[in-house]
A and B are shown apart, each in its own frame.
Chain A
Amino acid sequence: MMTTKGKQYATFWLGTGLYGVEVERVREVLREQDITRVPLAPSTVAGLINLRGQVVTTVDLHERLELAGERSAESMLVVVLVGGESVALLVDRIGGVVDVNEDQFEPPPDTLVGTLRELVSGAYKLEGQLLLSLDVDTAVAA
């Protein structure tokens, strides 16, 4: 049933977790491409990619969220707009676009600690799966 304040999230997987960002923040999704690493940069910076002539910084979300566990062999890039600038997020796998509404939303559970808690603004209770809403601005800030 449609209720008030419906939102759309573009979702992606990191390990076994499903994460999402507001769909209007997403510019495009790319297959992994050549990433030029940036020595001496923070480990959360995966490197730079060439997005049609534009140099775009890529953030390694695994590192950023301090997630343990396996990465997928073939990662994907979600290009989002942050402060008018494109930033690519390195993720394991792309999910679909999901409709959510406010009554599915809950603030992050108290058991969530550390970096993840800072970067996740809350969870949407989908059927059989939790969708963690990623705070993109904070995630790419550091």
Chain B
Amino acid sequence: MDDMDEIVQEFLVESAENLDQLDRDLLALEAAPDSRDKLSSAFRTIHTIKGTSGFLAFGRLEKLTHTGESLLSRLRDGHQVMKTPTADALLAMVDTVRSLLTSIEADGTEGDVEIESVMNQLKAQVSDGSGPAAVPAAVNSAATAAAAVKSAAEAPPAAKKVPAVKPATKTPIPADPAVAEGSSDASDNDAAEQVAVPATAEKAVAAPVAAAAPVPAAHLVPAVPEVHTKKVNARTRSVAESTLRVDVDLLDALMRLAGELVLTRNQLLRGVGEVADPALARTTQRLNVITTDIQESIMKTRMQPIDHLWSKLPRVVRDLGAQCGRLVRITTAGQDTELDRALLEAIKDPLTHLVRNSVDHGIENPDVREAAGKPREGTLSLRAYHNSGQVVIEVGDDGAGIDPVKIRAKALERGSRTAAQLDAMSDAEVLQLVFEAGFSTAAAVTNVSGRGVGMDVVKTNLEAIGGAIDLDSVVGEGTVCRMRVPLTLAIVPALTVEAGSDRYAVAQASLLELVALDPTQAASQIETVAGAPVYRLRGALLPLISLTGILSGSDSFEVPHGEVSQVIVVLQAGNRRFGLLVDRVLNTEEIVVKALSPRLKNIGVYSGATILGDGTVALILDVQNLARRALRGDAAERAAEANARRGAVVVSDAERLLIAGVGDGSQVAIPMSMVTRLEMISADKVESVGSREVVQYRGKIIPLIRLDRHLGVYSERQPSELPVAVYSQAGHSVAIVMDEIIDIVEHEAADRSEVDDRGFVGSVVVRGQIVGLLDVEQAIAAADPGFFSAVRAELAAAELNGSAGGFLPSARSGVDDGFGVKDAGVNDLVGVNGR
């Protein structure tokens, strides 16, 4: 009896896999009806199931597959051509066979699965075959297919519990939690829970039949139709001999152990480093290599090609397309890209969701498409590839796209953004709003072309596994969703950093670069915009977060004073870039992520903990949350987003403008090239020397320019802290006092109009508002008539001494730049002055 159970077990597992293949073959046949390879493959699959079910005395299964076999043999022998109704009938048969198998798996009998309607449908196709397919038949059969799917869904969900009862069998199948979710597709779960080593499929093909025409490696069934069932069985057995089904729990356990081994190795390496013993060192070195190999091998056993997920999608798309009246073609690229099975499982739902979205809301119905001058058939393209240690999975469609205007309206209606905020956002940024919770309301489905249904859930799911998602869309052309997921979860390359006396780990996935600052640089190059620290990274402002600051719970930032070197860890969180200011970078290490108790995780700064090489525990920083926590809707964040938009390349034509508030509500733009540093100075530090105001700044006396007085718009304000823009050149500085710092914006340098107003060199349009562009030179000259001549003298002297060529920034004291202020600023300035 046990023997019999085992045979049934194997039959079920094998059939489930074969049916998946059959699904794919049938869909492929719809596109290429005369592919003999596929027809033979399909025929053989059904033939095998028929044979075995006869042997095992599953009468109805045998009857059904026999009917299907007859139809397939007609198709194979060219008596009849594959048409959509034929495919419908055959797919309906596949579903019914699945229901029967599910029933057999549940209680060992065929239960009361109804096969008559499908049999009739199949027979109708056989007789119809010679003549043209009747249109009503298609409608009819589609309905039956839907019914069959339904019946499959109604199959007892407890089905999968049975195999788990006897885990000692040769092919243990773990109890399947996914079934509880009411999955309608038993074979689906089978495939996901079992890992077969893929390489063997090729061997199987290469095996007995020497004459076999080139067949895609995945097809275990030979291309030559004359091969008999016995041979097929022999071949299947050879597959079984060279591959081994392994319980996934066991693989998980192995993975955990490999993780521990890596940790222990790290500890040992550190210990051995302290003992000078060449023999021990050699042994340890060997251990090191082996450990790395073990780790990689175990990781490989868990890797599965993404095709495991994708192969399910054609069916989803076909059924959904039929439901919503869309014609959809699927193209795939990179289906061999491999992912850890845990991750594969984790992205299954998000992926399906995105695909459904594309078919349901992205691709228009054929008539609309035709009217828009697109082919009636929409294209859903799936792409997977490796990119900087991550796997990128794209789901694209050539549908209607998402209209940012509608998203804006929706965001405004929901009150999640103000009109001003929305105006400041680029279309690309606006599109990302669909990932916010609440965009998935029913209203959104109708108003916002339906996108964003549960997109927040998709995003959350991806972030939970250390992934990310973004979206590009062009109205009328289509949408691309890009999921980025790590290769594996268990072992993460990380950077260890030190802040105060504590060590922390940062996952390298979010790391962009490191910028080391020596003590003087740390003091001079970290600037503040309205209290928020920033650093000029190749000309773009990078908002900074001080790790010590955020961990001490303080919001205010203090520019470090002297004697401390700092490192800026430049990180990417979603579409934002920011710099994490730490005291030291210690090491890069492969770490094993350990869960934190929920209470500590809820703090929102740590994503987990790990054990470092020396055995101490270090917390892993949660980069996403750090960014969210520290960069909240201030100017620094917008600057960061602007940077992200522009990428690392500094656009030469764009200049950045500091928008300052002066007097009652008027705004003035100051080119950032004329701003060395932004500071807050205390009002009572301002002293008068004769008619001029001065302030002590970094050990020097520098003149102040009151912008409001300079421009004749006197401000009533008497703030205790004055925001100033300091301009330094060649050891000379001036400070321009504003009423408030409003923003820093990007602006096309060419795009300005000349005005001949006193104090301004022109005007620019910033977010729909006209803002005067300050004539900084004039303002400086007004406050300190000697400023430019002094600078010029200084520069000329430097040039004479040969210490600086031309007007190189090195001649400017205290100027951090080289990266920062545009050099053009210097030349302009001197040129103006020389006029």
Contacts and interface: CB of A to CB of B under 8 A. Distances in A.
B597 interface: yes
Interface in B399-439: none
B260 A38 contact: no
Most buried by A among B264, B502, B551, B619: B619
A57 B597 contact: yes
Given A38-B619, A40-B603, A40-B605, A53 B502 contact: no
Contacts, number: 55
B611 interface: yes
A54 B609 CA distance: 10
Interface in A52-69: 53-55, 57
A41 B615 CA distance: 22
Contacts of A85: 597
A54 B618 contact: no
A140 B229 CA distance: 65
A50 interface: yes
Contacts of A90: none
Nearest to A56: B617
B166 interface: no
Interface in B262-288: 263-264
A48 B605 contact: no
A127 to B, nearest CB: 39
Interface string B612-632: 000111110000000000000
B446 interface: no
Most buried by A among B600, B603, B605: B600
A7 interface: no
B553 A40 contact: yes
Contacts of B616: 34, 36, 50
B600 A45 contact: yes
B605 A55 contact: no
B594 A36 contact: no
Contacts of A25: none
A53 B264 CA distance: 9
Given A38-B619, A39-B502, A40-B553, A53 B609 contact: no
Nearest to A45: B600
Given A38-B600, A55-B596, A55-B609, A49 B551 contact: no
Contacts of A34: 615-617
Nearest to A58: B617
A71 interface: no
A37 B609 CA distance: 12
B617 A49 contact: yes
B603 A41 contact: yes
Contacts of B603: 38, 40-41
Interface in B573-607: 594-597, 599-600, 603, 605-606
Contacts of B652: none
Contacts of B618: 36
Contacts of A55: 594-596, 609-611, 617
A40 B551 contact: yes
Contacts of B600: 38, 41, 45, 57
Given A36-B618, A38-B606, A48-B619, A53 B551 contact: no
A38 B263 CA distance: 22
Interface in A23-54: 34, 36-42, 45, 47-50, 53-54
A138 B610 CA distance: 27
B127 interface: no
27 contacts: A36-B609, A36-B616, A36-B619, A38-B600, A38-B606, A39-B502, A39-B605, A40-B551, A40-B553, A40-B603, A41-B603, A42-B599, A45-B599, A48-B609, A48-B617, A49-B617, A50-B615, A53-B263, A53-B264, A53-B611, A54-B594, A55-B595, A55-B609, A55-B611, A57-B597, A57-B600, A85-B597
Interface of A: 34, 36-42, 45, 47-50, 53-55, 57, 85
Given A36-B609, A38-B603, A57-B599, 5 more contacts: A38-B600, A41-B599, A47-B617, A53-B260, A53-B263
The 3 nearest A-B residue pairs measured at CB: A39-B551, A36-B617, A48-B617
